């Protein structure tokens, strides 16, 4: 396991911040200064600022994200974060992002390899949203969303889109661009008034109260690994 991934599994820092610790000379492996390309095995002794660290057990949590929470581990503006809603040990981080006002299924884990694969566009992980619009879209506009619309960073891939109620649609996408659903809706001349992610990679949190979480089952973890 690469050293930065080991530090992330130990709950020391994210991989990016672990790289900063390594470059600052604060990490040793078996008494030698760690490098960005250092690989760690189970028998190795890893220390940060002279204190030994060890990998934490892998954890996979599914959260029903409430509104008015940010999808980060900490927020400089002091807003509530999703990490504050789950246990502090073992340390987990969110997979991908949801806007502060977006609710629904959010996966948190310390399995860095799986998180990277789930977030990578190459693997086309399904993300299903229930989207409430400010006014009723036409059937043609819903078909536009399904076929793909032009955004400032290029056209979107084909999606699944269907009407749920007069002003509400269900949209399943396989990409992970910033604010993608809202931007797609704006591209057909509408505005999102409420956005809820009902499923992520086949997982639904709709049976959980907003702000609550559960651990994934072993079968669910295996399905995620096979899918990614």
Beta partners for residue 104, in sequence order:
65, 197
Taking alpha carbons only, the member of 44, 47, 8 closest to residue 25 is 47
Distance CA 162, CA 215 (A): 31
Residue 152 annotated as catalytic: no
Given the residues 75, 99, 139, 153, the one annotated as active site: 99
Within 10 Å of residue 42's Cβ, how many Cβ atoms? 7
* Cis amide leading into 138 (omega within 30): no
Angle between helices 218-227 and 112-119 (to 10 degrees): 50
Phi, psi of 152, deg, nearest 5: -70, -15
The answer to whether 19 and 36 have CB atoms below 8 angstroms apart is yes
Looking at the annotation, which residues are catalytic?
A: 99
């Amino acid at each position: 396991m690469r050293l930065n991934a080991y530090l992330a599994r130990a709950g020391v820092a994210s991989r990016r911040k672990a790289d900063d610790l390594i470059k600052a000379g604060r990490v040793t492996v078996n008494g030698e200064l760690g490098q960005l390309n250092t690989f760690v095995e189970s028998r190795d002794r890893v220390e940060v600022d002279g204190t030994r660290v060890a990998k934490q057990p892998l954890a996979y949590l599914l959260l029903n994200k409430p509104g008015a929470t940010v999808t980060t581990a900490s927020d400089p503006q002091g807003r509530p974060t999703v990490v504050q809603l789950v246990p502090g040990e073992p340390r987990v981080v969110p997979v991908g992002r949801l806007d502060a006002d977006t609710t629904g299924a959010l996966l948190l884990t310390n399995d860095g390899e799986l998180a990277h694969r789930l977030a990578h566009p190459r693997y086309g992980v399904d993300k299903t949203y229930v989207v409430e619009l400010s006014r009723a879209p036409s059937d043609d506009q819903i078909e536009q969303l399904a076929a793909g619309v032009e955004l400032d960073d290029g056209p979107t891939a084909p999606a699944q889109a269907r009407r749920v109620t007069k002003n509400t649609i269900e949209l399943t996408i396989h990409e992970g661009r910033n604010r993608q659903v809202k931007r797609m809706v704006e591209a057909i001349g509408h505005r999102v008034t409420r956005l809820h992610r009902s499923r992520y990679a086949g997982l639904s949190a709709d049976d959980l109260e907003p702000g609550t979480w559960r651990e994934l089952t072993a079968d669910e973890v295996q399905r995620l690994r096979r899918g990614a």
